[in-house]
Structure 1
Amino acid sequence: MARVLLRGLNRSDIDWLIEMGQQEVVAAGTILIQQGKFIDQLYIVLDGILTVTVSQAERNDPLALALSALEDNETTEWEVARLSNGEIIGERSLLETAPASASVKALRKSLVLAIPRQQLAIKLQRDMKFAVHFYRAMAILLSNRLQGTVNQTIQSL
């Protein structure tokens, strides 16, 4: 799943992402995205491992509420995924213009490509070929993530 987005894009699509993006080093322990906050970038993990967590603090978040209902202990934060090379982060804020549904923190020193959300949105509106490639790749990536979550949930029951 890690390279689904990049596999779905052609060379000129990838070149555009590289040109518009900025590489950022994320130190171990640094929170890249805070649950409940709006973000202005879409991130592609170039190197490293990041953890995705949801917190019970966000009472309006259906995922946090569901996890809270499943747990009988005092846990207030749950790890729901680990992301590595080629994964994307911040897609919900791009697709829905909504705040982040989870927090993302670097488990070790990581390198990400930060692509400004506004520039990406303009590119998606103006370049139909790019938009078709990008949204198809996103759909496959999100479908794979959902299947992984379903499998993980079934195993934990």
Structure 2
Amino acid sequence: MSKVLVILGELSDRDIDWMLANGTRNKFPPGTTLIVEGKPLDALYIVLDGTLSVSVASLGNKEIGKIICGEVLGEMSFVDGRLPSASVTVVEESLILSIPRRLLTEKLEQDVLFSLRFYRAITKFLSSRLRGTVRRFGEETDYLIYQDPDDERAIGQNNIENPDLAQSRFQWLLQRLKGS
């Protein structure tokens, strides 16, 4: 289950409309570096289509994970204000919704209920990611951070209040953004 479903399961329809109205849909070709480790981010990203690669400089820029449709990027830096801990590069053409950091910060400061729902969702999937990472330390794998696309345990149904609603919202979001 993708991280965006956790967010969409927590946010209201009005919240999602705000994200669509204030975000920008961009297509990125293969080879584009979307996030550079150690460099400030100016947006929160939602992957709508495509595949991206995650690498870390301390491991010789070795790929440690893949990012697929439905993943959220930049949330850790958004929450803690620190620089990104990994680089993210487009592997196959990707469609990404970018929500400017400045606008999202303003929205969170002005709309207490949106802020509550947003941070609750981020807390849930960061917790799930940490649990998955800890579990993978006991396995023989090089992919320690990001979930395997086939691993439903990483962010399970029990972490989403209403998984059917979240899934239908994501499909609705994709149709709106891919059609425009």
Question: Do Structure 1 and Structure 2 share a fold, with TM-score over 0.5?
Answer: yes
Q: 1:52 Cα deviation (Å)? A: 1.4
Partner of 1:32: 34
Counterpart mapping for 1:140-151 below 5 A: 140-151=124-135
TM-score by length of structure 2 reads 0.73
Report the equivalent of 1:114.
98
Task: Give the partner amino acid of 1:51.
Answer: S
Say whether 1:102 aligns with 2:75: no
Q: What RMSD in Å do the two structures reach over aligned CA positions? A: 1.4
% of aligned pairs identical?
42
Q: Distance in 1 between matches of 2:113 and 2:98?
A: 22
Change (3 A) 1:7 1:81: farther
Gaps of 5+ in 2: 142-180
The one of 8, 11, 16 aligned to 2:10 = 8
Q: Structure 1 residues 112-121 or 80-89, which shifts more?
A: 80-89
Moved over 2 A (4+): 77-81
> Could you say which structure has the greater relative contact order, defined with CA pairs below 8 angstroms and 6 or more residues apart?
1
Is this contact kept in 2: 1:6–1:86, CA < 8 A? no
1:137 corresponds, among 85, 110, 121, to 121
Alpha carbons 1:5, 1:86 under 8 Å: kept: no
Alpha-carbon offset, residue 33 of structure 1: 0.5
1:69 paired residue number: none
Contact preservation (8 Å) 1:46, 1:111: yes
TM-score by length of 1: 0.83
Q: For the Cα contact (< 8 Å) 1:23–1:112, is it kept in 2?
A: yes
Deviations 1:37-58 (A, max 9, x none): 00100001111111211111xx
Q: What is the DSSP-based 3-state SS (H/G/I as helix, E as strand, rest coil) of the residue aligned with 2:138?
A: helix
1:110 is displaced (CA, Å) by 0.5
Cα separation, 1, equivalents of 2:73 and 2:24 = 14
Aligned residue for 1:41?
43
Describe the SS at the equivalent of 1:109: strand
**Aligned pair partner of 1:91 in 75, 79, 92:** 75
- Which residue is 2:139 aligned to? 155
Gaps of 5+ in 1: 57-74
Residue 80 of structure 1 deviates from its aligned partner by: 2.8
Look up the match of 2:146: none
Aligned length: 139
Task: Give 3-state SS (helix, strand or coil) of 1:155's partner.
Answer: coil
Report SS of the residue matched to 1:108. strand
